[in-house]
Amino acid sequence: MSFAESVRTVFSKYATFSGRARRSEYWWWWLFILLGSIVFVLIDNVLSITFTDSFGGSTVTAGWTTLIFALVTLIPGIAVTIRRLHDTGRSGVWWVLSLLCGIGAVILFVMCLMDSGPDNEYGPNPKGGMVTA
């Protein structure tokens, strides 16, 4: 699956939390998020369209276009992560682990690195049965 095809697929399944996502779909999506974030941070800084918010004694400066990009890509990012977990034979509930503690994000990262599992309750193997040992 190519970069453009992956991004198109994730956006076409914007809030689809069922089914499976191959590794290529998942990792191309996160590369898109990284590149998009860099572009929008640069736009915010060049155009000086940032806002500052204070909470809990901390001051955070963020850009408006970066914030909009993050909000637009939040749900599809969660959805593709859950579909990726389904592809490895795990429940999407594992995604919550990344919110609980730092080690949870590392565990989720490792789970998403794993290869597709055989057909399971979440659907057929997206590789068409070509699982390597």
| Mean pLDDT, 10 residues at a time, the chain of 133 residues | 94 93 93 96 88 72 89 96 92 85 85 87 77 49
pTM over 0.95, yes/no: no
| Ordered DSSP codes for 63-85 | EHHHHHHHHHHHHHHHHHHHHHH
Instruction: Number of helices (H) and strands (E) in the chain: give both, helices first.
Output: 5, 2
pLDDT (0 to 100) of residue 57: 67
Enumerate the β-bridge partners of residue 54. 59
3-state SS assignment for residue 60: strand
Contact criterion met (CB below 8 Å) for 42 and 69 = no
Could you tell me the two tokens for 78?
């969660």
pLDDT (0 to 100) of residue 130: 55
Specify the residue for token string 């809990």.
56
So where are the chain's domains? 3-113
